[in-house]
């Protein structure tokens, strides 16, 4: 969620470290206020990075940080079992329920620096395997905050006001959040907002709108405590790399009135609402994506990122959230797509690689051997998978409207030696055609839905309009309009007869050899001619 430069995570573990790594960190009333001269000497000389541990060491904690602030950093990655703030030392320890959760958090925070009260916080493994606080009186607020979080995560939304008060939750806040998204470089759909915010509790209703040229949303939770933790964890974060920044406040409204279930508003307790006046309720496929009618399903907290988030309606539906850096391959979350309703006579692994490669770096493609209407596409990370779904689900390809959803598989296995595959599984991990392998590439700024207009680049001077028109005609396309860029004749726009024609042309002609060591680059354009 946070876009930033990779932090230096090789600082000292803590000032209270035991001299033997791997032991539980035990803190009691007798713990000295100033810690460990021997450890300090050892740390000055440098040491090897710690092995993974479910206990994490956090540095540069603000003086006014609360236990709830620190807990919120770990909450998206799994259950938090203990927390300890070293007052006056700007440090804290966070104990996760499992080492896997801790690994996910460290991996994510190594490229996306988390913040508490606008101050960057650095996360690394502790050399301690367990955090024991010996029931310190100062830990009462920490235990109360943990109890609130765990109650919410376990599905009991009946959090008492006593717990809320003890954990420092401000009283009287609404369960409705008002979100303003600034620097809206990529479109943010209602579904993306649901996936992000349902991480923190039961989302009842969402209303999106534009006011003062700003995209805004109102989100109603089942309980104010859910809204509090969502605001605490997400305020100021980016949905995508360096853009789509969330600014979150509590709304003065106590409840939202939703009249329609459509792309702008939704009541997740009322799937019988129409999409507009005189129209039928939502399509059953959309209902299935969020659960059965009238029931709210609490998301299960996944192992990393702000996802994966798993819902449990009729059969498990696994989804991930577009809330992590697009330019960070390997971020937590499911990055494998299930693409169905394909034309088995026309589709190839290369075709899927090129098409889905317009929205992220495709690592592997597998067309099902026994059912070639279905395929798996593995993207570089969960955000790219979500962007591909947003842009390609429902797109017409070779005469059929394809469906793109998240798969239950976490990766695509290559066929074993001697296993019959007929070339239906391909590994593109090292392909030179990846558009997004370089962080900061301009390609991140030129991601658009399929359109009839294509952007062409890397055109050699010897290639004319007639050459390109003839080339596109061979793919079955009808060229409606064409224009070279005035300032750069290596680039052009070409408008074809339909969006489907443009999709086919992109698949066929991206990386086409035009001679003179020039390979044509093709992408969808937001422009028209």
Q: What is the pLDDT of residues 499-509, one digit of tens each?
A: 999 999 999 99
Task: Name beta bridge partners: 481.
Answer: 495
- Shortest CA distance to 112 belongs to which of 69, 76, 65? 76
pLDDT tens-digit map of 328-352:
333 336 889 999 999 999 999 999 9
Question: Regarding beta strands 131-132 and 25-26, do their DSSP bridges make them parallel or antiparallel, or are they unpaired?
Answer: parallel
pTM above 0.75, yes or no: no
Residue 374's pLDDT band, with cuts at 50, 70 and 90, is: very high
Residue 478's pLDDT band, with cuts at 50, 70 and 90, is: very high
- Shortest CA distance to 248 belongs to which of 261, 262, 235? 235
> Is residue 278 pLDDT above 70, yes or no?
no
pLDDT tens-digit map of 21-73:
344 555 544 333 333 333 333 333 444 456 889 999 999 999 888 887 888 78
pLDDT tens-digit map of 296-340:
222 322 322 333 222 222 222 222 333 333 333 333 368 899 999
Instruction: Quote the Cα angle for 157-245-410, to 5°.
Output: 65
- Shortest CA distance to 336 belongs to which of 276, 283, 376? 376
SS3 letters across 113-164: CCEECCEECEEEECCCCCEECCCCHHHHHHHHHHHHHHHHHCCCCCCCHHHH
pLDDT of residue 272: 73
Give the chain's length. 529
């Amino acid at each position: 969620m946070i876009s930033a430069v990779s932090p230096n995570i090789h600082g000292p573990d803590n000032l209270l470290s035991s001299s033997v790594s791997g032991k539980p960190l035990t803190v009691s009333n007798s713990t000295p206020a100033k810690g460990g001269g021997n450890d300090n000497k050892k740390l000055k000389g440098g040491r090897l990075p710690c092995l993974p541990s479910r206990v994490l060491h956090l540095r540069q904690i603000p003086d006014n940080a609360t236990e709830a602030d620190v807990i919120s950093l770990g909450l998206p990655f799994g259950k938090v079992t203990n927390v300890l703030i070293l007052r006056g030392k700007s440090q804290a320890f966070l104990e996760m329920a499992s080492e896997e959760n801790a690994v996910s958090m460290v991996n994510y925070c190594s490229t996306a620096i988390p913040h508490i009260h606008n101050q960057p916080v650095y996360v690394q493994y502790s050399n301690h395997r367990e955090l024991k606080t010996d029931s310190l009186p100062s830990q009462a607020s920490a235990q109360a905050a943990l109890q609130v979080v765990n109650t919410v995560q376990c599905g009991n939304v009946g959090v008492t006001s006593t717990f809320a008060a003890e954990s420092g939750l401000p009283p009287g806040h609404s369960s409705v959040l008002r979100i303003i998204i600034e620097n809206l470089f990529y479109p943010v759909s209602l579904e993306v907002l649901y996936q992000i915010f349902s991480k923190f509790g039961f989302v009842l209703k969402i209303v999106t709108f534009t006011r003062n040229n700003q995209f805004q949303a109102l989100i109603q939770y089942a309980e104010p405590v859910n809204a509090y933790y969502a605001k605490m964890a997400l305020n100021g974060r980016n949905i995508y790399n360096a853009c789509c920044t969330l600014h979150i406040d509590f709304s003065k409204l106590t409840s939202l009135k939703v009249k329609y279930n459509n792309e702008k508003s939704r009541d997740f307790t009322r799937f019988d609402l129409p999409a507009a006046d005189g129209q039928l309720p939502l399509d059953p496929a959309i209902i299935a994506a969020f659960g059965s009618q009238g029931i709210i399903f609490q998301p299960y907290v996944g192992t990393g990122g702000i996802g994966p988030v798993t819902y449990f309606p009729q059969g498990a539906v696994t989804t991930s959230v577009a809330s992590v850096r697009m330019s960070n391959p390997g971020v937590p979350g499911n990055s494998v797509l299930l693409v169905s309703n394909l034309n088995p006579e026309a589709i190839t692994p290369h075709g899927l690689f090129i098409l889905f490669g317009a929205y992220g770096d495709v690592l592997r493609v597998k067309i099902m051997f026994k059912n070639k209407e279905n395929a798996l596409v593995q993207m570089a990370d969960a955000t790219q998978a979500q962007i591909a779904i947003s842009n390609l689900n429902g797109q017409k390809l070779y005469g059929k409207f394809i469906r793109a959803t998240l798969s239950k598989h976490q990766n695509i296995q290559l066929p074993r030696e001697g296993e019959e595959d007929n070339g239906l599984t391909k590994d593109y991990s090292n392909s030179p055609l990846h558009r997004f392998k370089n962080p900061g590439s301009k390609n991140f700024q030129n991601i658009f839905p399929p359109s009839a207009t294509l952007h062409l680049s890397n055109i050699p001077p010897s290639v004319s309009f007639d050459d390109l028109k003839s080339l596109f005609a061979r793919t079955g396309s009808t060229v409606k309009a064409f224009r070279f860029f005035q300032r750069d004749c290596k680039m052009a726009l070409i408008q074809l007869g339909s969006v489907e024609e443009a999709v086919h042309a992109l698949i066929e002609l991206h990386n086409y050899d035009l001679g003179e060591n020039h390979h044509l680059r093709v992408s969808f354009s937001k422009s028209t001619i």
